[in-house]
Amino acid sequence: MTKGLNMNRGLYVNRPFMIVSRMWMNRVVSVAGGWNLVIQTRKDNDKRQQWVFDMTSKTIQTLQDRKRSMDFRGGNAYAYTTDSRWYQLFKYDNGWVVNEKGQVLAVQSKLDYENR
C-alpha cells in the first residue's frame, strides 16, 4: 500500500499531516535542533512540523528528513534514524498518538519550547 488509510494504524500513508495539541493554542509537534521534538506555534509551510506515515517501516517520519522517525522512549520524544523498533511504531487511536507499548505522546511541562 503506497497511499490511502492504513486501518491498523489509523494514519494515511505518505500524506503529510501535523500533530496538533489539544491545548487551547493548538500548537504542533515540531523538530528542533535536528532531533528534539517540541511543541510550537503552527507554521503551515514548515517541514519540521509536518509528518508522514511510511508503510514500509510503519513509522511516522519527519517530512524534513525522511530518514528520521518519531521516537518515544524513556519519557522523551525525538526524531531519530528510523529503525522500526517498538519505540518508533505508533498509531492514531481515538485522538491520541500511541506507541506499541501503549505510551501516549503528551505535553508534560508548564512551558513549551516558546515559553508559553
Residue numbers of the domain that contains 9 = 4-99
pTM of the model: 0.86
Residue 109 maps to a domain: no
Task: State yes or no: pLDDT of 110 exceeds 60.
Answer: no
Nearest-angstrom CA–CA distance, 2 and 7 = 13
Q: Which residue has the cell 509537534?
A: 29
pLDDT in tens, 75-104: 788 999 999 999 999 999 988 888 888 888
Nearest-angstrom CA–CA distance, 11 and 70 = 14
Distances (CA, A) of 70 to 20, 115, 116: 15, 23, 23
Look at the chain and report how many structural domains it folds into.
1
Q: State residue 62's pLDDT score.
A: 94
Does residue 1 or residue 85 have the better pLDDT?
85
pLDDT (average), residues 47-53? 95
CATH code of residue 8: 2.80.10.50
